[in-house]
Amino acid sequence: MDFLRETLGLKGSHLGCEHGVCGACTVELNGHTVRGCLTLAVQADGGTVDTIEGLSRAGVIRDLQDAFVQRNALQCGFCTSGMLMAAKELVEQRPDANRAEVREWISGNYCRCTGYHAIVDAICDVLQQRKAAAGHTEASA
Ligand code: FES
Ligand code: FES
């Protein structure tokens, strides 16, 4: 996380607890979310690191970002990049997740502002939207 934030200037991922608890530092390493604060830069040598900046620019989480705004799923925003990284992994890996499973999935990401309900609402919205776009009609939440 120090390398991303201080050397590369990518400040979108945040440092909260700095010991693997809060999830504010979540990034993807080789397609899987990791705690940035517990991952040494040398561990990513030769691998692919995706941050909130790259995913935002690529547009791959546009629907999640829109849903977070529409549902008021952020207040101070400190947790938001980590939440979005976790949510991205969820909607890709568990497209049929129900509300309880969404809550469990994001339980490793702390939010001190929202009370979580709006975040879960936003993620459930995107699960339903993506299912509808994929031609499914079943509700996921
Ligand atoms: S800063 Fe990494 S988990 Fe909290
Ligand atoms: S919006 Fe403030 S910590 Fe989540």
Angle ∠(38,42,44) on CA atoms, nearest 5: 75
Alpha helices in the chain (DSSP H): 2, 52-58, 62-70, 80-93, 99-105, 117-133
Which amino acid residue places its CA nearest to atom 4 of ligand 2? Answer: 111
Assign domain 2-133 to its CATH superfamily.
[2Fe-2S]-binding domain (1.10.150.120)
Rounded to the nearest angstrom, the distance between the alpha carbon of 18 and the centre of ligand 2 is 16
Distance of CA 45 to the CA centre of its chain: 23
8 Å CB contact between 51 and 8: no
So what's the pLDDT on residue 136? Answer: 55
- Write down the domain spans for the chain: 2-133
Q: What are phi and psi of 4, to 5 degrees?
A: -65, -45
36 CA → ligand 2 middle, Å: 18
pTM metric for this prediction: 0.93
Interhelix angle 62-70/80-93, rounded to 10 degrees, is: 120
pLDDT band at 135 (very low <50, low <70, confident <90, very high): confident
- pLDDT tens sequence across 111-131: 999 999 999 999 999 999 999
